């Protein structure tokens, strides 16, 4: 099987009431662990690269690593550009073999967002590449995308319907209360997704795949482990798994997960190096990291996203 676009997998997820996991990848270890986990559970999979990931690893390296992982798997895998910042960035990824791109015009005024999304859709569809756009903003930090809390706003359901009609986009990231990064919310704040807004949006655009960004749970077990073994991460808070499960059963068909992977990786490496101060072989502590990421991803697929055995 070769890399696929996200159209079929997200439409199926939307109609059958689960979500496909979109995991951010930066290196070989993360790619191997995520793909092995999804493969063992026969789950469709989206691997996505942000601008920061492309800067870190290089677009060609990421593409080749994902191709290698895909060749050893039996599941449909899409390689997706996360937060494409311009038409040129999207074009570059499409030309280099990505099967899906996101054009993030959410910080532009509405008509400009429509315009740039249409332009990307027109180009992408010629090459059978699917397109995700974003309407409304999330607070938080995603690599180089920074939005202050004051500027964040929820997606307007009427505007979402108009946007999809005007752009012919394949999926839409909406803002219903998630936030990028590990420091999503104030201490003691209980993160709550606005299911009332989600319901209105899915009524306006039935059977249309919606996307949730900033959807890591920031599991306390990793935070505790990091802090126990010499780290210092305070006030990190994410979206509770119960909220994500509920969203996945609705029209949320793609759920992005980045911070949870980073935390799982860091916790296991910190623990290993703390317990084995004389070790210095990267293969040893990175093997621990791979085991930890794989078990996190399996848990997400089975218990949160509901996408196990859905190929």
One-letter-per-residue 3-state SS of 191-249: CCCCHHHHHHHHHHCCCCCEEECCCCCCCHHHHHHHHHCCCCCCCCECCCHHHHHHHHH
Q: Which residue from 299, 169, 182 is spatially nearest to 241, judged by alpha carbons?
A: 299
237 strand-pairing partners: 183
Angle ∠(275,280,281) on CA atoms, nearest 5: 110
CB nearer Zn ion, residue 52 or residue 231? 52
> Are residues 10 and 171 in contact, defined by beta-carbon separation less than 8 angstroms?
yes
Considering the rule CB under 5 A, would residue 184 count as an interface residue with Zn ion?
Answer: no
CB nearer Zn ion, residue 83 or residue 294? 83
> Are residues 209 and 170 in contact, defined by beta-carbon separation less than 8 angstroms?
yes
State the nearest-atom distance from the C-beta of 213 to Zn ion, in Å: 3
Q: Which stretch binds Zn ion (CB under 5 A): 163-171, 199-207, 209-217, 243-251?
A: 209-217
User: Per-residue x/- mask for Zn ion, residues 134 to 153, rule CB under 5 A?
Assistant: --------x-----------
Close Cβ partners of 70 (under 8 Å, ≥ 6 residues apart): 1, 2, 3, 35, 77
CB nearer Zn ion, residue 142 or residue 288? 142
Q: What are the distances in angstroms from CA 226 to CA 26, 253, 278, 279, 303?
A: 21, 31, 19, 19, 24
Lookup: tokens for 185:
């919310």
Applying the rule CB under 5 A, the residues between 3 and 62 that interact with Zn ion are: none
Q: Which residue from 100, 134, 96 is spatially nearest to 114, judged by alpha carbons?
A: 134
Instruction: Based on the residue annotation, tell me whether 82 is a catalytic residue of this protein.
Output: yes
Q: What would you report as the CA-atom Rg of the chain, rounded to the nearest whole angstrom?
A: 18
CB nearer Zn ion, residue 70 or residue 134? 134
State the nearest-atom distance from the C-beta of 306 to Zn ion, in Å: 21
State the nearest-atom distance from the C-beta of 291 to Zn ion, in Å: 27
Total binding residues for Zn ion by CB under 5 A? 2
3-state helix, strand, coil in the chain (%, to 5): 50, 15, 35
State the nearest-atom distance from the C-beta of 132 to Zn ion, in Å: 10
State the nearest-atom distance from the C-beta of 232 to Zn ion, in Å: 26
CB nearer Zn ion, residue 84 or residue 306? 84
Q: What are the distances in angstroms from CA 184 to CA 48, 113, 179, 220, 222?
A: 21, 25, 5, 14, 16
Q: Which stretch binds Zn ion (CB under 5 A): 11-19, 197-205, 208-216, 245-253?
A: 208-216
Considering the rule CB under 5 A, would residue 80 count as an interface residue with Zn ion?
Answer: no
Q: Which residue is nearest to Zn ion (CB)?
A: 213
Considering the rule CB under 5 A, would residue 213 count as an interface residue with Zn ion?
Answer: yes
User: Per-residue x/- mask for Zn ion, residues 150 to 179, rule CB under 5 A?
Assistant: ------------------------------
Which is catalytic among the residues 82, 104, 156, 260? 82
CB nearer Zn ion, residue 79 or residue 308? 79
Considering the rule CB under 5 A, would residue 63 count as an interface residue with Zn ion?
Answer: no
Q: State the catalytic residues.
A: 82
Interface with Zn ion (CB under 5 A): 142, 213
């Amino acid at each position: 099987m070769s890399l696929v676009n996200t159209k079929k997998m997200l439409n199926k997820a939307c109609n059958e009431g689960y979500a496909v996991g979109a995991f951010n990848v930066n290196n070989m270890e993360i790619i191997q662990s995520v793909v092995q986990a999804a493969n063992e559970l026969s789950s469709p999979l989206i691997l996505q690269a942000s601008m920061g990931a492309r800067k870190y690893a290089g677009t060609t390296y990421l593409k080749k690593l994902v191709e290698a992982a895909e060749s050893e798997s039996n599941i449909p895998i899409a390689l997706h550009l996360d937060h494409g910042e311009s038409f040129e960035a999207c074009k570059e990824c499409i030309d280099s073999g990505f099967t899906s791109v996101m054009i993030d015009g959410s910080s532009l005024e509405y008509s400009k967002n429509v315009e740039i999304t249409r332009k990307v859709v027109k180009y992408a569809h010629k090459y059978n590449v699917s397109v995700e756009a974003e309407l409304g903003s999330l607070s938080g930090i995603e690599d180089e995308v920074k939005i202050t809390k004051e500027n964040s706003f929820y997606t307007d359901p009427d505007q979402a319907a108009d946007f999809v009609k005007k752009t012919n986009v394949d999926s839409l990231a909406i803002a219903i209360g998630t936030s990028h990064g590990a420091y999503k919310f104030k201490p003691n704040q209980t993160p709550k997704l606005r299911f009332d807004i989600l319901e209105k949006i899915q009524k306006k655009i039935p059977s249309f795949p919606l996307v949730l960004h900033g959807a890591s749970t920031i599991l306390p077990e990793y935070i505790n482990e990091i802090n126990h073994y010499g780290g210092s991460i305070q006030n990190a808070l994410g979206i509770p798994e119960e909220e994500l499960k509920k969203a996945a059963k609705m029209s949320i068909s793609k759920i992005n997960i980045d911070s949870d992977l980073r935390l799982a990786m860091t916790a296991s490496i910190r623990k290993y190096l703390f317990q084995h101060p004389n070790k210095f072989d990267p293969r040893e502590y990175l093997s621990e990291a791979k085991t930890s990421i794989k078990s996190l991803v399996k848990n997400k697929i089975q218990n949160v996203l509901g996408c196990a055995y859905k190929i």
